Each structure stands twice: as structure tokens, then as C-alpha cells.
Amino acid sequence: MKAAYLYNFALLTTWPSAPPNGPFTLCLYGQDTFGPALGALNGKEVNGQRIQVLHIERIENALQCRLIFINETNEGRVARLVNMVGRAPILTVVDDGLTRPASAMISLAPENRRLTFEVNTTAIKQANLQVSSRLLQFAAKVVSP
């Protein structure tokens, strides 16, 4: 289910520019709990670019991502990663069951046997990204800290 959410987040987000002829890099940082579901996104398209799923182990590699799913239990590493990408046009999605820095853009969380998400519009604007009003409609909560 989380892989489908990530794909839809990508479809409903606009980046300021896309590298010509390059892939859309969807990255995973931390534990891989997706099984084959995340790999099934390889080759699908987002805004005319084919998705390339990357598992990154080093925080420094996050700058090559367009969307990064953070599934890490170490709060220090999560905060360091989110701070490092800062205002770069990288959509950051965190698994709320672990840790959630205030500057993360989207936080996924289970609620009453459903998967819900919270959107931080301030962090999205600071990264020069735009999300569709449809994405905001489906969010359980939209915050502007």
C-alpha cells in the first residue's frame, strides 16, 4: 500500500525542473519493508520520466533523489538527512511510525486499519515544489507550521 501512495505522491507533485532524459529517482533510505512492491514501480512513468528505484545507504546520496521515503529509526540520521536536503526540490516522505522531523513534507501513518498521511505545505513550498489540490483533499491533515 505504501508503494502505491509513493507513486501517487509523485504523480500529484510538480517539480521546478526535470533533468532531460534522466530517470525519476525514487529513493528509499533505511529499512526496506516493501518487499517486491517498491521494485514494481521501476519503469513506470512520472511526468514522462521512467522511475528508477534506488536504495541509498549514505545520507549524501539523497541529493540524487526526486522523492525519498525515509524508513529509519535513528532520529539523528533522519534529522540530518532532512536538514541536508533542506530546500532542494526533493519530496521527503517519512514513516510516522518511526520518527517525524518537523520539516518532513509528507508523513504516512496507520490509523484505524487504514494508511493516512499528513502534508506539511510550508516544507513543500520551501523546496519549490507544488502539490495538487487532489493530494491535499485526501490528506488526513494539512499543516503549515
pLDDT in the model for residue 70: 92
Q: Is residue 78 part of a domain?
A: yes
Q: Which domain holds residue 64?
A: 1-12+23-105
**Band of the pLDDT at 65, cuts 50, 70, 90?**
very high
Count of domains observed in the chain: 1
Element (H, E) at 111: strand 106-111
Q: Is residue 129 part of a domain?
A: no
Q: Is residue 118 part of a domain?
A: no
pLDDT in the model for residue 93: 93
Average pLDDT, the chain: 88
Q: Is residue 1 part of a domain?
A: yes
Q: Give the span between the Cα atoms of 53 and 16, in whole angstroms.
A: 21
**Band of the pLDDT at 103, cuts 50, 70, 90?**
confident
pLDDT above 70 for 51: yes
pLDDT in the model for residue 136: 96
Q: Is residue 126 part of a domain?
A: no
Q: Give the span between the Cα atoms of 126 and 78, in whole angstroms.
A: 18
3-state class of 27 per DSSP? strand
What would the pLDDT profile of 1-34 be if each residue is shown by its tens digit? 899 999 999 999 999 876 667 899 999 998 888 8
CATH of the domain at 93: 3.40.640.10
**Angle (nearest 5°) at CA 29 between 88 and 27:** 60
Instruction: Read off the pLDDT of each residue in 101-124 and give the average, rounded to a whole number.
Output: 87
pLDDT in the model for residue 19: 63
pLDDT in the model for residue 5: 95
pLDDT > 70: percent of the chain: 93
